[in-house]
Amino acid sequence: MSRFRTFERNADKKNTQRINEAIRITPVRVVSAEGEQLGVIPTEEALLKAREAGLDLVEVAPTERPPVCRIMDYGKFKYQQKKRHSKGHTHQSQNKEVRLRPKIGDHDLMTKVNRAKGFLAKHDKVVFSVIFRGRENAHVDEGFKLVERVTKELEEVAKVEQGPGMQGRRIIVTYAPK
């Protein structure tokens, strides 16, 4: 059990960067806040330069020899990293499903197509499913005609990502925004 705890602590150390007094290796290669190379200097001297500037000494490349440290505002750096990380997850494309029956009315079909255009405008993928029940399975060709009509209606805003195909009792087509 104690081995597992040690492993957890080591895993935590890998994810964090060493700053200021936590940097024990000397000498280090130092980069200033403006981005200019200050050269390889002892860690104590690098810490003094960082304190004079009112900033932190952050180890940015611990695997290099000597390790590379940068003089920067660590709090601001962490904030920008967090902001950049959350910015990448603002909108993930989702699959929206629109279900149809082979004997759907014209107006109902156009309502569902317009709904799909709205999803596509928001950069979501749309999956059209034509569902067959009972004796409708004998008329699968009607479902494929319906899918062709939907494709024709959506051709200006979407492209067919996955062509029409039978999966059990349904025909499935996936559209992606252009």
149 with 127, same domain: the answer is: yes
How much is the CA Rg of the chain, to the nearest whole Å? 30
Pick the last residue of a domain from 37, 66, 87.
Answer: 87
Question: Is the CA virtual torsion 16, 21, 22, 24 positive or negative?
Answer: positive
119 with 51, same domain: the answer is: no
The reported pLDDT for the residue numbered 116 is 95
Spatial strand order in the sheet of 56-61: 37-41, 28-31, 68-72, 56-61
123 with 167, same domain: the answer is: yes
Cβ neighbour number for residue 119 with a 10 Å cutoff: 20
Q: Band the pLDDT of 10: cuts 50, 70, 90.
A: very low
Cα–Cα nearest to 175, from 133, 112, 132, 111: 112
Structure tokens that stand for 91 in this block? 């909108």
CATH assignment at residue 67: 3.10.20.80
Pick the last residue of a domain from 87, 117, 136.
Answer: 87
pTM value > 0.75: no
Helix (H, G, I), strand (E, B) or coil at 135: helix
57 with 6, same domain: the answer is: yes
Question: pLDDT tens-digit profile of 134-170?
Answer: 999 999 999 999 999 999 999 999 999 999 999 999 9
Q: Report whether pLDDT(5) > 50.
A: no
Q: Band the pLDDT of 12: cuts 50, 70, 90.
A: very low
The reported pLDDT for the residue numbered 177 is 92
102 with 156, same domain: the answer is: yes
- Does residue 164 have a cis bond before it (omega within 30 degrees)? no
7 with 63, same domain: the answer is: yes
Count of structural domains within the chain: 2
Q: Which position has the token pair 């304190």? A: 51
7 with 40, same domain: the answer is: yes
99 with 135, same domain: the answer is: yes
Pick the last residue of a domain from 70, 87, 104.
Answer: 87
Range of the domain at 27: 2-87
CATH assignment at residue 135: 3.30.110.10
Helices (H), the chain: 2-15, 43-52, 74-87, 106-121, 140-154
Q: Residues 17, 20, 22, 27: what is their CA dihedral angle, to the nearest 10 degrees?
A: 100
Rounded to 10°, the helix 106-121/140-154 angle is: 50
- Does residue 27 have a cis bond before it (omega within 30 degrees)? yes
